[in-house]
Amino acid sequence: MSTTAPTAQQVPTPETVPVRTRKRKHRRANPWGVVAWIAALGFFFPVFWMVLTAFKQEADAYSDPPKFFFTPTLDQFRAVFDTGVGVSLLNSAFATGVSTILVLLLGVPAAFALSLRPVRKTKDALFFFISTKMLPIVAAIIPLYVIVANIGLLDNIWALIILYTAMNLPIAVWMMRSFFLEVPGELLEAASMDGANLWTSVREVILPLVSPGIAATALICVIFSWNEFFFAVNLTAVQAQTIPVFLVGFITGEGLYWARLSAAATMAALPVVLAGWLAQNKLVRGLSFGAIK
Amino acid sequence: MAEITYRNASCLYENSDTLAVDSLNLDIQDGEFVVLVGPSGSGKSTALRMLAGLEDIDEGSISIGGRDMVGVPSKDRDIAMVFQNYALYPNKTVAENMGFALKMRGVGADERRRKVEQAAKLLDLTDYLDRKPAKLSGGQRQRVAMGRAIVREPQVFCMDEPLSNLDAKLRVQTRTQIAALQRRLGTTTVYVTHDQVEAMTMGDRVAVLRGGKLQQFSSPTELYDRPANAFVAGFIGSPAMNLLDARIVDGGVQIGSTVVDVERDRIASLHRAGLETVTVGIRPEQLEITDGDGVETIVELVEELGSESYVYTRVARSDTPLVARSLTRTPARLADTIRLRKREGTVHLFHPATGERVGD
């Protein structure tokens, strides 16, 4: 079977003209592009200032007018480490990591079932998941506190892991479902005709396709868990303290030390930025398939 | 040996109260190329998916090579399927796509490569074995889908409108190639299409379905020459057969003010059946423009195809459309009044109420 050369290309197409004008239009400064740049810089500046301040001496941090050029120092980071940030960082990392893994282990199969193998009442199940996010957490904190106290998990990192898993699971199911819905059902059928059982077809065919979705979902879970404050401040004290709680404590304790506070905040923000940067590759690749037509 | 038998096979979709496939009976011989054809909603795809194990057989049975397939999962049926959208694995290369089934069966890497290369050669895909499907043209993807099926050397090929995503020229070309490939491999094939030209040109036998029910299952020429009912008569052939209700008179049937002659014994059998009117089927090529006696019609449209032309008319003083083929260029102009005469050959007669073929 051979394809003949398409004759359409030999015919001069009228398309060539609009393409050229489109290009020229593109080169002209787009007012929305300028607005976008201003907005982006506006959003980025506080973060930039925080990082900059973290490398200053306290005297430089206080100077008026603000200093852009100074001798950078790691003193502030050393000082933050001396106050015991390490435990909080470890707690946050542990709670974030374990809860994200749990969410993916539970949420990905659930989303698969709710999209590619829909059952009766699929809509109801989906609504149930999202409805758990409708109650304000504040309204639930007292019963939660009582329950956590009764089972003896106060100031225990596992209490946070359970809560973070429950908190992120609905989002993960909904997100993953939308990725699974883009997988053509025929792929599963083709795999089953090729002799693959369910597990093999999921591993060999479906998972490679939805891996960008899994990366995106994991990133969202990491961000939400890492930054979570309300549960952490109410259910932990010293042992299980996470980094947002530590930061707040730091503000009250050392609120006047701008540079040191900036260093602590920078350290708290760094892991999430790193996670986003690592996932970016997968995220950008997106879901351009080529399986269909 | 892979003959296929449908025995009263039925399929009911959830949330539906009509059967998608209603008591289908088919006997498909080993090595035969059978086409299931029908309009959308006729159940042709469902019938194929029941064979492939992608749809439940709710009643009756389907057997392949004498083995009952009720409750047997797809992967154990030894069937390969070509999907309408090809369903290639986008993350695998062409070679991996084609070799996947063999890998699942535990065939060694060397053997696998040999078979894939063999099939690739057959399909002119050798240069593309390392590419991903996204980097292929539509025609190439179609061939990979075919390759994935033939590499496995299955008992049965199932093809669900495999050509509908190709452009017209490639479709015609690929049509003949698939038919030739099937003859060469000798694998029993069930092919679904809504295109009656594909059905006529590719199939050893064609099953026409409508509303989940089998209308006729016979060779393409038989379908064309002796349609079992008015639906098949109107579905097979392009432009469609003229079907018009006519009064039975002495020596024939009356169309407009003209009597079209019908053999004496067929008229007699219509009388015996107690009919006064009958649905008459005349193919466009059975009608010609005449200067003499004929049905008076008014021209509504002329389609020039180069080698022939079709004249779309309406019978004078009535609403009945009539299409005639003409072998001359520009046989008539719009709004002309022309007379049409039946050429040699007999007309088809169908029961006016049931549509069944009558009068033979």
Give the pLDDT confidence of B227-257 residue by residue, as tens digits: 999 999 999 998 999 999 999 998 889 888 8
Domain assignment of residue A143, yes or no: yes
DSSP B357: B
Residue A40 and residue A154 in one domain: no
Q: Where are the domains of chain B?
A: 4-234, 242-350
How big is the A-B interface in CB pairs under 8 Å? Answer: 95
Q: Mark yes or no for CB contact B85/A197 under 8 Å.
A: no
Residue A212 and residue A125 in one domain: yes
- Structural domain containing residue A255: 83-285
**Got the DSSP string for chain A?**
--PPPPGGGTSPPTTHHHHHHHHHHHHSPPHHHHHHHHHHHHHHHHHHHHHHHHTS-HHHHH-SSPPS-----SHHHHHHHHTTHHHHHHHHHHHHHHHHHHHHHHHHHHHHHHHTS--TTHHHHHHHHHHTTTS-HHHHHHHHHHHHHHTT-TT-HHHHHHHHHHHHHHHHHHHHHHHHHTS-HHHHHHHHHTT--HHHHIIIIIHHHHHHHHHHHHHHHHHHHHH--HHHHHH--STT--HHHHHHHHHHHHTT-HHHHHHHHHHHHHHHHHHHHHHHHHHHHTT---S--
- Nearest-by-Cβ selection for A195 from B87, B101, B165: B101
Band of pLDDT at residue B172, cut at 50, 70 and 90: very high
- Length of chain B measured in residues: 360
pLDDT at A6: 42
Residue A196 and residue A63 in one domain: no
Give the integer Cα–Cα distance in Å for A263 and B211: 73
- Our CA dihedral for B104, B106, B107, B110, rounded to 10 degrees, sits at 100
Q: Mark yes or no for CB contact A2/B124 under 8 Å.
A: yes
Domain assignment of residue A205, yes or no: yes
Shortest Cα distance, chain A CAs vs residue B181, angstroms: 10
- Is A210's Cβ below 8 Å from some Cβ in B? no
For chain A, the maximum distance between any two Cα atoms, rounded to a whole number of angstroms, is 79
Domain assignment of residue A243, yes or no: yes
- Is A8's Cβ below 8 Å from some Cβ in B? no
Q: Mark yes or no for CB contact A194/B134 under 8 Å.
A: no
Shortest Cα distance, chain B CAs vs residue A7, angstroms: 11
Would the pLDDT of A198 be above 70?
yes
- Is A9's Cβ below 8 Å from some Cβ in B? no
Comparing C-alpha atoms, which of A53, A63, A104, A75 is closest to residue A220? A104
Q: What is the mean pLDDT of residues B151-174?
A: 93
Interface predicted TM-score (ipTM) of this complex, two decimals: 0.84
Residue A61 and residue A172 in one domain: no
Residue A63 and residue A120 in one domain: no
Does domain B4-234 fall under CATH 3.50.50.60? My reply is no
Domain assignment of residue A180, yes or no: yes
Class of CATH domain B242-350: mainly beta
Angle CA B307–B193–B41, to nearest 5: 120
**Got the DSSP string for B284-344?**
GGGEEEESSS-EEEEEEEEEE-SS-EEEEEEETTS--EEEEEESSSS---TT-EEEEEE-S
Residue A221 and residue A159 in one domain: yes
- Is B112's Cβ below 8 Å from some Cβ in A? no
Look at chain A and report how many structural domains it folds into: 2
Q: Which residues pair with B193 in a beta bridge?
A: B37
pLDDT tens-digit series, residues A99-122? 999 999 999 999 998 987 777 788
Domain assignment of residue A168, yes or no: yes
State the pairing for strand pair B59-64/B4-12: antiparallel
> Could you give phi then psi for residue B291, rounded to 5 degrees?
-90, -20
Q: Mark yes or no for CB contact A194/B91 under 8 Å.
A: no
Structure tokens at A57: 């001496």
Residues 154-193 of A with CB under 8 A from B: 184, 186-187, 189-193
Residue A120 and residue A247 in one domain: yes
**Which of A101-110, A237-246, B140-149 is the least confident region?**
A237-246
Fold match between domain B4-234 and domain B242-350: no
Domain assignment of residue A260, yes or no: yes
Residue A36 and residue A89 in one domain: no
Residue A189 and residue A271 in one domain: yes
pTM, two decimal places: 0.80
Would the pLDDT of A1 be above 60?
no
Nearest CA in chain A to B145: A190
